Amino acid sequence: MKIINGSYITEHAFTYCSPRYNKSITAKKGEVLDGATGALDICSNGWVIHDIVKKYKKFDDGTECTNLQASLILYDILKSEGRWFRARSWFIATLVWGEFRNLFG
């Protein structure tokens, strides 16, 4: 991941397979994302995957990925990395912020 002018840019493509939804999400090389807004102290692919599903609002198979699903995917990734507190706190933060943005644009 490179950071250029405050944006995160993926340096290689990778795919995450969600065990919860049995669906995949692919981050393509060169994706421009906002990264872990407010959580600059940890490095995790969870932020990349969350940004991808929020940007495109779908899984690789074309089915919709809701704000709740995106937040749960971030939760699952952070929890699998042993970041229990972050998993819970960022689940709530992304869910609430995403719903706020859905309501008020």
Q: How many domains does the chain have?
A: 1
3-state secondary structure of 19: coil
pLDDT per residue of the chain (105 residues) written in tens, 0 to 9:
666 666 778 889 999 999 999 999 999 999 888 766 655 556 778 888 999 999 999 999 999 999 999 999 999 999 999 999 989 998 999 899 877 776 676
The residue segments making up the domain with residue 70 are 2-104
Cα separation, 2 vs 81, in Å, equals: 21
Q: Which secondary structure element, helix H or strand E, spans residue 55, and what is its range?
A: helix 45-56
Q: Looking at the whole model, is its pTM more than 0.95?
A: no
3-state secondary structure of 35: coil
